[in-house]
Structure 1
Amino acid sequence: MSLAGFVRAAGLALGLAASAAEAGLSDYQGAWLLSGRGCAEVYSSSGKGTAFKTPLDIFAPAFVISGKQLRTPMASCRIRSIRPVGDRQRLVLDCANGVAANDVTVLLATAPNGALRRYYSDQDPTGVDYQRCAK
Structure 2
Amino acid sequence: MAEADPAIPEPSAKEAISFEANQVLKEIGFAVERVEISKELPSNESVTYLNLVTREKETYCVELSTKGYRVVGKAFDISEIPPEASQYFETVYSLLNRISPMYRDSFGTTLASKLAQIQSEREHQQS
More contact order relative to length (CA 8 Å, sep ≥ 6)? 1
Structure (1/2) with the larger helix percentage = 2
Under a length normalisation based on structure 1, what TM-score does the superposition of the two structures give?
Answer: 0.32
The structure with the largest alpha-carbon Rg is 2
Under a length normalisation based on structure 2, what TM-score does the superposition of the two structures give?
Answer: 0.33
